[in-house]
């Protein structure tokens, strides 16, 4: 009898083998999908979701996780998107928490970034991609390749404590020209130093909200006291020639609300008063949540301050609360006073002093 049942057992064994193989293939397919799909743009993700139910479910999960945190878990708090104006779940861009210098050849620049769930594996992958985007602070060095500046303090104090104990040298010398000085990478103090306020990431809860007229804007998701640090303006540091080239492209696309640019020109007047340092920061494709801060003709509720870390050549543009900000209030600052284009983009700031046109100048 056992021999007569042998063909049936063989058939059943073959079926089980096929089922196991199919299950393994399905698991392998899901693993690859979860690795590849988070690198896709919204358009690519939408096309993939049409191919089968499994990929559609994964795509929806990725879209949801992206809408829950614009910062890819890089910042101290998640920064979600909220949209009651249309069906756009989030704004797609490459996130960097600091200024970056793009390589000379644009083709070498990583055009994609892992952006999916908030689990540990995804976070590690996201942070890995961010580290490839970022760069170390540009420091002044001597012939021995050691930093020319930086304090040796274990704890930094702004003023002398008496008994021969003097204040940290990183505090002095720049406040009178509108620049705040902080300890830098070559200083002896650690990351918890009180003179590294703007270097510990975003420490207030924020959210990105979409409106019909303005598009995306940055809002407070908690009460923020006057003087609190909000964020820095992060993006690509460009040469003036490249900034002008990109601005021409952005001007040609400006008629579409989906193609708003975030190229900011900063001029730092040097102590001599005879020259200024120009910085071009483009957060249009690569930046942080500061790219969503809208203009207000009355100056808004944010103040801008140039912050230079000890030993760094270039300062960073940082935003602080210029007044107490209520939860749910939009964050805004003035883009400037110059309106070089009479037919510029309309302004929807809603302030009593609104000019009706956004500031613009020739880059």
Digit-coded pLDDT (tens) for 297-329: 999 999 999 998 887 888 899 999 999 999 999
Of residues 310, 87, 93, the one with CA closest to residue 184 = 310
Strands 332-333 and 294-295: parallel
Distance CA 338, CA 341 (A): 9
Quick one: CA dihedral 245, 247, 250, 254, positive or negative?
A: negative
SS3 284: strand
Give the count of beta carbons closer than 10 Å to the beta carbon of residue 285.
Answer: 17
Report the number of secondary-structure helices (H) and strands (E) in the chain: 5, 13
The predicted pLDDT at position 204 comes to 97
Distance CA 323, CA 308 (A): 23
Answer whether residue 3 shows pLDDT above 50.
no
- Prediction pTM value: 0.83
The predicted pLDDT at position 146 comes to 46
Distance CA 79, CA 72 (A): 9
Average pLDDT estimate for 32-56: 93
The predicted pLDDT at position 88 comes to 94
Bridge partner residues of 216 (DSSP): 210
Answer whether residue 115 shows pLDDT above 90.
yes
Helix boundaries (H) for the chain = 6-36, 42-49, 53-68, 120-133, 240-253
The predicted pLDDT at position 261 comes to 85
CA distances from 221 to 27, 277, 318 (A): 40, 35, 19
294 exposure class (CB count in 10 Å sphere: 0-12, 13-18, 19+): buried
Of residues 70, 151, 166, the one with CA closest to residue 118 = 70
Cα 203–Cα 206–Cα 207 angle in degrees, nearest 5: 155
| Phi–psi pair at 86, nearest 5 degrees | -155, -160
Distance CA 281, CA 169 (A): 29
Percent pLDDT > 70 in the chain is 75
Average pLDDT estimate for 174-199: 78
Output 304 or 194, whichever has higher pLDDT.
304
- In this structure, of 34-43, 104-113, 165-174, 315-324, the range with the lowest mean pLDDT score is 165-174
pLDDT band at 141 (very low <50, low <70, confident <90, very high): very low
Q: What is the DSSP letter of 326?
A: -
Of residues 31, 29, 32, 61, the one with CA closest to residue 45 = 61
The predicted pLDDT at position 170 comes to 74
Distance CA 93, CA 41 (A): 9
The predicted pLDDT at position 282 comes to 96
The predicted pLDDT at position 143 comes to 42
Distance CA 139, CA 150 (A): 10
pLDDT band at 62 (very low <50, low <70, confident <90, very high): very high
- In this structure, of 49-53, 160-164, 177-181, 183-187, the range with the lowest mean pLDDT score is 160-164
| Phi–psi pair at 201, nearest 5 degrees | 80, -175
**Ordered domains of the chain (ranges, CATH):** 11-68 (no CATH), 70-99+151-362 (2.170.270.10)
Distance CA 68, CA 363 (A): 35
The predicted pLDDT at position 186 comes to 81
92: which 2 tokens? 């797609």
């Amino acid at each position: 009898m056992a021999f007569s049942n042998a063909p049936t057992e063989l058939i059943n064994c073959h079926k089980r083998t096929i089922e196991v193989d199919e299950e393994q293939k399905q698991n392998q397919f899901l693993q690859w999908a979860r690795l590849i799909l988070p690198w896709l743009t919204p358009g690519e993700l939408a096309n993939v979701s049409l191919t089968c139910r499994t990929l559609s479910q994964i795509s929806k999960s990725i879209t949801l996780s992206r809408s829950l945190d614009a910062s890819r878990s890089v910042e101290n708090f998640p920064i979600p998107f909220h949209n009651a104006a249309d069906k756009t779940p989030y704004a797609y861009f490459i996130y960097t928490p600091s200024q970056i210098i793009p390589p000379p050849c644009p083709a070498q620049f990583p055009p994609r970034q892992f952006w999916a769930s908030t689990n540990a594996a995804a976070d590690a992958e996201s942070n890995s991609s961010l580290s490839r985007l970022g760069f170390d602070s540009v420091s002044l060095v001597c012939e021995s390749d050691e930093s020319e500046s930086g304090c040796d303090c274990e704890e930094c104090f702004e003023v002398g404590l008496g008994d021969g104990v003097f204040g940290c040298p990183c505090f002095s010398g720049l406040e009178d020209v509108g620049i705040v000085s902080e300890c830098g990478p070559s200083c002896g103090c650690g990351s918890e130093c009180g003179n590294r306020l703007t270097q510990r990431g975003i420490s207030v809860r924020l959210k990105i909200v979409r409106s019909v007229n303005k598009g995306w804007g940055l809002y407070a998701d908690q009460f923020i006291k006057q003087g609190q640090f909000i964020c820095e303006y992060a993006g690509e540091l460009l040469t003036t020639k490249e900034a002008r080239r990109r601005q021409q492209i952005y001007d040609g696309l400006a008629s579409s609300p989906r193609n708003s640019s975030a190229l900011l020109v900063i001029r730092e007047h040097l102590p001599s008063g005879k020259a200024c340092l120009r910085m071009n920061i483009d957060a249009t494709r690569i930046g942080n949540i500061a790219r969503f801060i809208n203009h207000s003709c009355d100056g808004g509720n944010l103040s801008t301050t140039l912050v230079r870390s000890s030993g760094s050549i270039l300062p960073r543009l940082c935003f602080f609360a210029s007044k107490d900000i209520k939860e749910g209030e939009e964050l805004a600052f003035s883009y400037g006073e110059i309106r070089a284009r009479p037919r510029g983009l309309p302004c929807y700031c809603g302030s009593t002093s609104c000019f009706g046109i956004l500031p613009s100048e020739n880059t």
